Structure 1
Amino acid sequence: MGSSGASVEAVFFGTTTVYLSDGASGILIDGFLSRPSLLRVAPDLGRITRALSRAGVTLLDALFVSHSHYDHAMDAPEVVKHLGGRLFGSASTLNMGRGAGLAEESMTCIADGDEHRIGAFTVRVLAGVHSPDNRFPGTIEEPLVPPVRASSYRDGGCLSFLITHPGGSLLIHPSANFVPGKFDGLDVDVLYLAIGALGVQPQRFQSDYWRHVVEATRPDLIVPIHWDNFFVSLDRRLRPLPAIFDRFAVTKAFLDRKSEETRIPVRFPEPFEVIRPFAR
Structure 2
Amino acid sequence: MFFNILKKLAGLLVLICLGVTAYVLTMVNRYPPVPDLPNPPEHIGAFGQGVVRAVFLGVSSFGVSDGRHTIVFDGFFSRPSKMRVAFGRLREDEPRIDDALNLMFQKLQVKPAISAVFVTHSHFDHLLDSPYIARRYKAMLFGSSSTLNFAKGQDVPDDKLIDLRGGQVENVGDFHIQAIPTRHAPTGFTGGVIAKPIELPVHALEMKEGTSYTYVISYGSDRKPLACLQSTAGFIPGQSDGVTCSVVFLGVGGLGKLSEGYMDQYWSEIVEKTHARQVYLIHWDDFTQPLMANGQLLPLKPFPLLIDNMTTTASHLKALADRDKIQIGLLLSFNSLVLNQP
Category of TM-score, reference length = shorter chain: over 0.9
Instruction: Quote the offset at 1:278 in angstroms.
Output: 2.5
Instruction: Quote the offset at 1:85 in angstroms.
Output: 1.2
Q: How does 1:26-45 map to 2 (within 5 A)?
A: 26-37=70-81, 38=85, 39-45=88-94
Match of 1:207 among 264, 277, 280: 264
Match of 2:313 among 246, 251, 267: 251
Structure 1 counterpart of 2:282, which letter?
I
Identity of matched residues, %: 31
Q: How does 1:150-229 map to 2 (within 5 A)?
A: 150-166=204-220, 168-229=225-286
The residue that corresponds to 1:2 in the other structure is 49
Instruction: Quote the offset at 1:44 in angstroms.
Output: 0.4
Instruction: Quote the offset at 1:29 in angstroms.
Output: 1.1
Relative to structure 2, which stretch is displaced further, 30-39 or 224-233? Answer: 30-39
Is 1:104 equivalent to 2:158 in the alignment? Answer: yes
Normalized per residue, the structure richer in helix is 2
Structure 2 contact 182–235 (Cα < 8 Å) conserved? yes
- Distance, in Å, in 1 between the alignment partners of 2:262 and 2:166 is 24
Structure 1, unpaired ranges of 5+: none
CA gap of 1:136–1:180, structure 2 versus 1, over 3 A, is closer
Instruction: Quote the offset at 1:136 in angstroms.
Output: 5.2
Count of residue pairs brought into register by the alignment: 277
Which secondary structure does the structure 2 equivalent of 1:267 belong to?
strand
- Distance, in Å, in 1 between the alignment partners of 2:286 and 2:89 is 17
Match of 1:19 among 51, 54, 63: 63
Q: Cα RMSD (Å) of the superposition?
A: 1.5
The residue that corresponds to 2:200 in the other structure is 146
Instruction: Quote the offset at 1:242 in angstroms.
Output: 0.5
Structure 1 contact 30–63 (Cα < 8 Å) conserved? yes
Match of 2:134 among 63, 74, 80: 80
Structure 1 counterpart of 2:329, which letter?
R
Query: Is the radius of gyration larger for structure 1 or structure 2?
Result: 2
Structure 1 contact 136–151 (Cα < 8 Å) conserved? no
- Distance, in Å, in 1 between the alignment partners of 2:166 and 2:104 is 31
- Distance, in Å, in 2 between the alignment partners of 1:134 and 1:30 is 21
Instruction: Quote the offset at 1:168 in angstroms.
Output: 4.7
Structure 2, unpaired ranges of 5+: 1-47, 293-297
- Distance, in Å, in 1 between the alignment partners of 2:225 and 2:264 is 27
